Structure 1
């Protein structure tokens, strides 16, 4: 095709509207025309000057519209006019998922282009609704991680629309399909999604949930630790200080090099001094304030400092039964007894401690009352049953795998009866283990 001749999308539209099946159309896009010519045709208008997107139905021609729309939002906006937001939103709300899954790489291209277009028009928040619609419609279940997820989280966190992330973050990621759903999904996508999820949840002060997301990022297995995992570890440790006043042990499969590198950071020194050594904490903050600010952790540092007295006070409950307000004030390094009283009342109200304060200023620390009800126990058991069903389903899926069956046959010496006995024995062991887990849970509760 000569570069000095007008390029029209008539041929593309003809293919989209006359293809017998979406698979036939996908084969045309893949092999019927070179990539350079294809992209040029996709961003062009009809020879009549009409926009091809104005004559295609989103649901009927999802695959064709996906190719055109993803090309248009990714093209140079100085040469090709971008599509309207109404067209973008209409597609993301009404597309046919089965057609869209034939071209997963175009879904990725569309998601990136939507984020790019929103920034281009000066309103990055515009990308959030269509990206959220893509996430809710494209995967077969909210538990699947796709390439859209980290792009959506980036759009939300970069614009401080943290609440918009909650419908997506409320479902943990338990499934990844790189065979058909997201073949271009990368290890970095997983890290980015959980890292940004932790940031959004921490910004909303959902500390426990933020801790879980940061930990998934930190402990994701890899040959060498990624830089993003180190940033996640820094935020994880600060969130743990804010949430419960101390850090917790990471799983054994955490990369050891990551933990060694962390010990060389000022965060390790900050944790070592927390919460009692107020002077050392202040010295570290003053010395490293530029580092903390550059790494976007100054807010978490300040919040952990504010709560240091709270956790110093809580540690007293493990040693003393009764203390006077003046003694508590000395221990937590607060000069004003009224401030100590206010702190105590705040911690009692939030159930961080259980105590009573007498009229003379004597504080008696109490054992915490039972924190569960019958409905709580029922909810835990219901959750356990759901996890049991999922475990059985996963076990059955593994049991159908070629590698697993080959190993079973080898272990049975090729004898079909021995093979069946081995499989049945493993299933019974699995089910009995799950049952014991549920029984222990009910007993503990």
Structure 2
């Protein structure tokens, strides 16, 4: 292809190509490197935008190149530094509807020929929404891109972390739930130019989105996946994930748990030297110290984006202290509970108790005199659980009955059983007749067998 080839000629190549692999190589390497971006970002000779001429579905590969060539950029989770083009500084304005339509209708088979362009498109969509103050707009096209591009969403792609970033920044964490519901089980470098960091960022942001929704158990799982990802040395993001993991555990459990053995051994040591260890050691009993620590380290906690989680943990601290009391005391007065929990008002303690009883977190009764009597939770079984146990029992019963019948048909077993009943000292040989050994009475009698 001549170095001075116009966009009109390229458009003809795109619309008439019968071999997509050849077209891909033409678009990728066939244009002069120094003028490729200029050519692909220019209008047609007629002044028309090529995106208005091309079929956004049938010409997926060509559209992808034209959309992406001028918004090559760099993107990171902590510093949004971009080298943007067509979607932000452009010779031809790209209407958002073009991007939305393309993401909803593109042909995945064509897009998979140029995975690096799909990555650039995803980052460009996010950048476009961010720069225009409408990150929420970017969520839907990114969702369509993510759900349509890989064979299924169990394949990790470079779109995953960008989509999660958009959901978190746009305060739309619930939009990520259909994606987060499918664990990552497959990785293919043919689908995406993946890096180690993509996995960390996706699971870290997944934990953030789930924590925003107060789905603590799920958030804990995602943060733990990020923290325990194997590597020669811990990444900075893994330490940040560990901080959030510990705070989520305080909120949902009232205490922290040990990391799996396969986590990098340096991480616990790095975390131990942080102020978060002091906070955990004071939790949940020492409310006064917790508040003092937050006041002292507020700039640090804010910079880590953890102040909201810490405040939620402190709000729940009295609940965890109260639950521990139920394991020690049978009955306590409201005044005693207020003192032990660190709540000055008995009315506030009563409200806390009632809310915990209603939520099923504790089992207790409050007398008119203000005495609280704790009790063990009553055993509760749902109808579904009972039916499941009965079905399991019936299955096991049928299995045992089958085994019993198989054993009853065993010549060796019958021989030994009958000889034992007769008190004989010698076992009959296998050549003896089964019915003769059994005799005319008992379960092997003719009237029993054929009844």
TM-score bin, normalised by smaller chain: 0.7 to 0.9
Shift of 1:172: 1.9
* Bigger Rg, structure 1 or 2: 2
Distance in structure 1 (CA, Å) of the matches to 2:370 and 2:102: 65
Shift of 1:40: 2.4
Give the corresponding residue for 2:439. none
CA deviation string 1:309-331 (max 9, x = no partner): 11000011111222222221121
1:364 alignment partner, SS class: strand
- Retained in 1: the 8 A contact 2:49–2:92? no
Give the corresponding residue for 1:234. 243
1:49-88 correspondence runs (5 A)? 49-74=47-72, 75=85, 77-88=88-99
Distance in structure 2 (CA, Å) of the matches to 1:127 and 1:30: 27
Shift of 1:43: 1.3
Tell me, yes or no, if structure 1 residue 294 matches structure 2 residue 303: yes
Shift in CA distance, 32/2, structure 1 to aligned 2, threshold 3 Å: closer
1:307 alignment partner, SS class: helix
Give the corresponding residue for 2:201. 192
| Aligned pair partner of 1:159 in 155, 167, 170 | 170
Structure 1, unaligned runs of 5 or more: 381-445
Shift of 1:336: 1.7
- Retained in 2: the 8 A contact 1:150–1:192? yes
Distance in structure 1 (CA, Å) of the matches to 2:32 and 2:233: 38
CA deviation string 1:137-184 (max 9, x = no partner): 111112121101111111121222222222222222222112x111x1
Distance in structure 1 (CA, Å) of the matches to 2:304 and 2:32: 44
Give the corresponding residue for 2:191. 181
Shift of 1:360: 2.5
1:287 alignment partner, SS class: helix
TM-score by length of structure 1 reads 0.80
Shift of 1:2: 11
Distance in structure 1 (CA, Å) of the matches to 2:357 and 2:34: 67
Higher share in helix: 1
- Retained in 2: the 8 A contact 1:72–1:80? no
Shift of 1:297: 1.1
CA deviation string 1:291-321 (max 9, x = no partner): 1112111111111111111100001111122
Shift of 1:72: 4.5
Give the corresponding residue for 1:342. 351
Shift of 1:374: 5.2
| Aligned pair partner of 2:26 in 16, 25, 28 | 28
1:116 alignment partner, SS class: helix
2:372 alignment partner, SS class: strand
Distance in structure 1 (CA, Å) of the matches to 2:271 and 2:71: 41
CA deviation string 1:120-139 (max 9, x = no partner): 33322221111011011111
Shift of 1:261: 0.7
Shift of 1:229: 0.8
- Retained in 1: the 8 A contact 2:338–2:345? yes
1:363 alignment partner, SS class: strand
Structure 2, unaligned runs of 5 or more: 73-84, 390-451
Shift in CA distance, 42/245, structure 1 to aligned 2, threshold 3 Å: same
- Retained in 2: the 8 A contact 1:156–1:165? yes
1:251 alignment partner, SS class: coil
| Aligned pair partner of 2:255 in 240, 246, 252 | 246
- Retained in 2: the 8 A contact 1:115–1:155? yes
- Retained in 2: the 8 A contact 1:325–1:361? yes
CA deviation string 1:23-52 (max 9, x = no partner): 221122233224443332221211111111
Give the corresponding residue for 1:210. 219
Give the corresponding residue for 1:106. 117
- Retained in 1: the 8 A contact 2:42–2:92? no
Give the corresponding residue for 2:294. 285
Give the corresponding residue for 2:333. 324
Give the corresponding residue for 2:272. 263
| Aligned pair partner of 2:142 in 124, 127, 131 | 131
- Retained in 2: the 8 A contact 1:73–1:82? no
CA deviation string 1:324-352 (max 9, x = no partner): 22221121122222211110111112222
How many pairs were matched up?
Answer: 376
- Retained in 1: the 8 A contact 2:103–2:145? yes
TM-score by length of structure 2 reads 0.79
| Aligned pair partner of 1:140 in 144, 151, 159 | 151
Tell me, yes or no, if structure 1 residue 311 matches structure 2 residue 324: no
| Aligned pair partner of 1:171 in 162, 179, 182 | 182
Shift of 1:214: 1.0
Distance in structure 2 (CA, Å) of the matches to 1:153 and 1:353: 36
